[in-house]
Amino acid sequence: MFQKVLAKCAKNVGESPRRISLWDRLTYWRVARPPWLKSGNELETVFQNLASLRRDGVVLWGHIVQANELMFSPGPYNCPGDVVYSLDAGQRADPIELGEVAHALFSLKHTKPADRDLAAIADDLTSECTPNFGKRIPSAISPVLSCRMSSIYFVRKHLPGPAHCLTRPVLPIIVLPTPPHVAMVLPSRYWPRMLVEWWQGEELAAAPARRRR
């Protein structure tokens, strides 16, 4: 079921290099830089690569690791977070498996693991101020599924309405397959109806997303 839904998402947005109309690039796909984003902040990487992401990004399932708590209710602000996904497994990646990885990652927050790689992830998740792009997840966390984590900027107009907020931890994302592996939510215009209905309340299967400050 999940693979068929994701395949429909990919078909709707088109294969890369995809061509988006000028009007859509200037309106629906446009992502404004937030006023709080200072020059030199690593999150600038997202905005510097939006054109490449629109053109060449691949459609994958992403699972939220954490997100700014403002994104879990209606409001005017777009906010950052972190998602986990698998470039190696591609569309075959099981969202349930991704959820297990996301849960294990979030459990590292506010901890001090002895393992150096796990400690680095724990510090980044705890600080909430250190963006990651394509960070490989250690086998200690995901021994079977090869996963990466990228910081993401959630844009409300790309989430299904009318609330335009995060209601599920699993969602289709579009990711640059080459460094810096920038990711964004696949705009909901390209979601099939059943995915939109599930996002807005119909049951399919999901675990709760994790909030951050």
For the stretch 104-126, pLDDT in tens is 999 999 999 999 999 999 999 99
Residue 58 in any domain: the answer is yes
Whether 190 maps to a domain, the answer reads: yes
Q: What is the pTM of this model?
A: 0.91
In a domain, 30, yes or no: no
Q: Is 177 among the domain residues?
A: yes
Band (pLDDT 50/70/90 cuts) for residue 166 is very high
For the chain, the domain total comes to 1
Q: Is the pLDDT of residue 204 over 50?
A: no
Is residue 67 assigned to a domain? yes
Tell me if 59 sits within 8 A of 10, measured CB to CB.
yes
- Is residue 116 a part of any domain in this protein? yes
What's the helix, strand, coil split of the chain in %, to 5? 35, 20, 50
Q: Which domain holds residue 78?
A: 2-13+43-212
Instruction: Please report whether residue 142 resides in a domain.
Output: yes
Query: Other C-beta atoms within 10 Å of 182: how many?
Result: 24
Provide the pLDDT confidence category of residue 159 given band limits of 50, 70 and 90. very high
- For the cut 50, the answer to whether the pLDDT of residue 150 exceeds it is yes
